[in-house]
Structure 1
């Protein structure tokens, strides 16, 4: 069975440094509840490098939500800011890290990179 959350976090380790995150340092813990308990993931951002691992430890920012809902966030189907406003996600600690975390998420299904659209228009 597919696990979008695990796939998302595992994929972060295969990315190169992100130039948009070069000045960001911090840890974010995700507490993802489900019927059998709570899964914990820790995301470490350090000068453009991002890594994730399973585990429960202190963090600069703690994001809590339902695992099934977070699956939708990691596939671009749900917006974390809108979810925060609806109390589907709670954030404790450094909110700025929550903001930077969003840059790692995929866009909505079917979304296109605006740079690609500009290139296509130039070639017409």
Structure 2
């Protein structure tokens, strides 16, 4: 039996990230513009198959599923690159401009999704930094 977020005994960072995104546990998602609507399909390619994930953005809400929807954008690439995005070790636009990932459809939606992936492990979101700084100054 496979554990959630695990694939063949290897950590599966992108699955864990997408599951957390679907449960609204990704901090950057709270800044999602309310005007954004659309569905993005992620095609995670491995040696033997391609897994499809659908991320629907609708008025500030995010739904993640494996159910087939008509996507407004498609992002296709090797699963290890998506794992790198999910951990912050890789940056989306660097991969995109190096032709490591294929993007079709609405680049506006893709840009919004790219902002939801974490930055490098040592980085922090500027709004979170300001919030923590204000909290510390109030405690003094």
Interval containing the TM-score (normalised by the shorter chain): 0.7 to 0.9
Q: Could you tell me which runs of 5 or more consecutive residues in structure 2 were left unpaired when the two chains were aligned.
A: 1-8
Q: CA RMSD in A?
A: 2.2
> CA separation of 1:18/1:114 partners in 2, compared to 1, >3 Å: closer, same or farther?
closer
For residue 80 of structure 2, give the secondary structure of its aligned residue in structure 1.
helix
1:30 maps to what in 2? Answer: 42
Greater shift, 29-38 or 51-60, is seen at 51-60
1:12 maps to what in 2? Answer: 21
- The separation in 1 between residues aligned to 2:14 and 2:126, in whole angstroms, is 26
- The separation in 1 between residues aligned to 2:116 and 2:125, in whole angstroms, is 14
- The separation in 1 between residues aligned to 2:124 and 2:72, in whole angstroms, is 33
Q: CA deviation at 1:119?
A: 1.5
Aligned pairs, how many?
123
Structure 1 runs of 4+ with >6 Å offset: none
Q: Could you tell me which runs of 5 or more consecutive residues in structure 1 were left unpaired when the two chains were aligned.
A: none
TM-score by length of 1: 0.87
- The separation in 1 between residues aligned to 2:133 and 2:82, in whole angstroms, is 33
1:59 maps to what in 2? Answer: 71
Q: CA deviation at 1:38?
A: 0.5
TM-score by length of 2: 0.78
2:97 maps to what in 1? Answer: 85
